């Protein structure tokens, strides 16, 4: 091996060792983070609230007398007309009482006729002087008693006839059967629910509005509604009812809106979203709120991670705040935040002050 070959081989060995020792550059990982903007309590111009659809009139169907169901012409979804016969009872007891009332009426009518004939006979005898005044008065009293008894018997017949009619169930309104609870041959009592009728064509949405914006909701206000079951479509609706008192179970004010144009695809019980557009001056509250998920706590108190842009980087910075009451929108902020600031809303336990992130 000559000197030139030796030098060439040495250079190749040096290059190989230097390439082996050189480490590949590592890609820097930037953590994605969810965020929300700090807002005023109830201060958003657009607000969305969840509700449930129902027909404007829901009627619980029941018989007005007791008995065993012998006919039930009702199925789920069946459309019915007002006055249509939907069910009937055996009515054995009512029919027996009706027959007894008829017999009592016939008997009292016979007694009344007999008393009338007797009164006429005694009157003639009295006029001829063959009967005393007391006999004549007794005959008149007997006739009056018989007439009263007959009138009472007639009323009893009418009542018992109504009792028979109470064993028939008719549709009180046009509508559709929403549920059927009883079965044929079942023994039912007066007022016991047999089925549910959804009457009327209008669809209403029941929802709860928080205290922060209830004063901005007015009757006849126009809103938009969409349904999970009917994607990519919105329906115009109008506010028809605004409760003046708080519902203690939900801590919201009950509100009802009615869909303007009926649609067969909208069915009772469907989940919906109701979109309200408020004027900026309609909301009197000007309290800063921050999402509850954005607030953490340590030995120094409550804090959030502010999301801020620094040049071409996005950083999170730990920031101490003072909070107030918890509202449906989040915590009221007494000190430490301004409207429009961005705060991280997830992974607070693993975020670091000054950490670089990317918005998710």
Query: Would you kindly state where each structural domain of the chain is located, as residue ranges?
Result: 32-41+286-359, 46-56+201-282, 59-89+167-195, 92-165
pLDDT of residue 279: 65
Q: How many CB atoms lie within 10 A of CB 342?
A: 20
Structural contact between residues 238 and 260, judged by C-beta atoms closer than 8 angstroms: yes
Q: What angle do CA 249, 251, 255 make, to 5 degrees?
A: 95
Which class would CATH give 32-41+286-359?
mainly beta
Tokens linked to 318: 């730990």
Architecture of domain 46-56+201-282: Beta Barrel (2.40)
Inform me whether the pLDDT recorded for 22 exceeds 60: no
Inform me whether the pLDDT recorded for 223 exceeds 60: yes
pLDDT of residue 148: 93
Percent of the chain predicted with pLDDT > 90? 29
Q: pLDDT band at residue 42, thresholds of 50, 70 and 90?
A: low
pLDDT of residue 284: 46
pLDDT of residue 261: 82
Q: pLDDT band at residue 330, thresholds of 50, 70 and 90?
A: confident
What CA–CA distance (Å, rounded) separates 206 from 198?
15
- Helices and strands (H, E) in the chain, number of each type: 3, 23
Beta bridge partners of 320: 303
How many Å from the N-terminal Cα to the C-terminal Cα in the chain? 64
Q: Which CATH number fits domain 92-165: 3.30.70, 3.40.50, 1.10.10, 1.10.287?
A: 1.10.287
Mean pLDDT of the region 199-205 = 82
Q: What are the two backbone dihedrals, phi and then psi, of residue 108, each rounded to the nearest 5 degrees?
A: -70, -30
Helix (H, G, I), strand (E, B) or coil at 110: helix
Q: Which residues contact 213 (CB under 8 A, 6 or more apart)?
A: 42, 47, 276, 278, 283
Give the pLDDT confidence of 119-145 residue by residue, as tens digits. Answer: 899 888 888 888 888 888 898 999 999
Mean pLDDT of the region 296-324 = 89
Q: How far is CA 207 from the centre of its chain?
A: 7
Q: pLDDT band at residue 300, thresholds of 50, 70 and 90?
A: confident
Q: Which of 3-12, 16-25, 244-253, 337-346 has the lowest mean pLDDT?
A: 16-25
pLDDT of residue 251: 86
Asked, colleague to colleague, whether 32-41+286-359 and 46-56+201-282 share their fold, the answer is: no
Enter the CATH code of domain 59-89+167-195.
2.40.50.100
This prediction's pTM: 0.47
What CA–CA distance (Å, rounded) separates 246 from 257?
17
Inform me whether the pLDDT recorded for 25 exceeds 70: no
Q: pLDDT band at residue 162, thresholds of 50, 70 and 90?
A: confident
């Amino acid at each position: 091996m000559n000197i030139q070959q030796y030098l060439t081989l040495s250079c190749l060995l040096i290059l190989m060792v230097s390439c082996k020792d050189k480490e590949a550059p590592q890609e820097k990982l930037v953590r994605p983070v969810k965020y929300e903007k700090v807002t005023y309590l109830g201060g958003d111009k657009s607000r969305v609230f969840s509700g449930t659809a129902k027909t404007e009139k829901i009627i619980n169907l029941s018989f007005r007398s007791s008995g065993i169901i012998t006919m039930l012409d009702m199925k789920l979804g069946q459309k019915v007309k007002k006055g249509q016969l939907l069910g009937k009872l055996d009515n054995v007891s009512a029919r027996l009482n009706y027959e007894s009332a008829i017999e009592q009426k016939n008997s009292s009518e016979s007694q009344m006729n007999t008393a009338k004939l007797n009164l006429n006979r005694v009157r003639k005898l009295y006029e001829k002087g063959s009967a005393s005044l007391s006999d004549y008065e007794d005959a008149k009293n007997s006739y009056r008693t018989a007439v009263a008894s007959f009138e009472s018997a007639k009323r009893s017949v009418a009542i018992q006839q109504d009792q028979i009619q109470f064993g028939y169930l008719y549709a009180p309104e046009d509508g559709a059967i929403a549920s059927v609870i009883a079965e044929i041959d079942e023994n039912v009592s007066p007022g016991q629910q047999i089925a549910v009728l959804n009457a009327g064509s209008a669809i209403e949405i029941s929802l709860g509005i928080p205290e922060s914006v209830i004063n901005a909701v007015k009757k006849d206000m126009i809103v938009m509604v969409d349904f999970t079951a009917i994607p990519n479509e919105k329906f115009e609706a109008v506010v028809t009812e605004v409760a003046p008192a708080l519902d203690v179970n939900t801590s919201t004010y009950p509100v009802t809106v009615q869909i303007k144009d009926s649609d067969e695809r909208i069915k009772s019980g469907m989940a919906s979203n109701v979109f309200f557009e408020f004027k900026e001056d309609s909301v009197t509250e000007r309290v800063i709120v921050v999402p509850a998920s954005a607030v953490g706590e340590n030995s120094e108190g409550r804090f959030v991670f502010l999301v801020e842009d620094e040049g071409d980087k996005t950083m999170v910075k730990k920031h101490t705040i003072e909070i107030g009451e918890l509202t449906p929108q989040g915590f009221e902020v007494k000190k430490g935040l301004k409207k429009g600031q961005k705060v991280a809303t997830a992974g607070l336990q693993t975020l670091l002050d000054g950490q670089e992130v990317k918005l998710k």
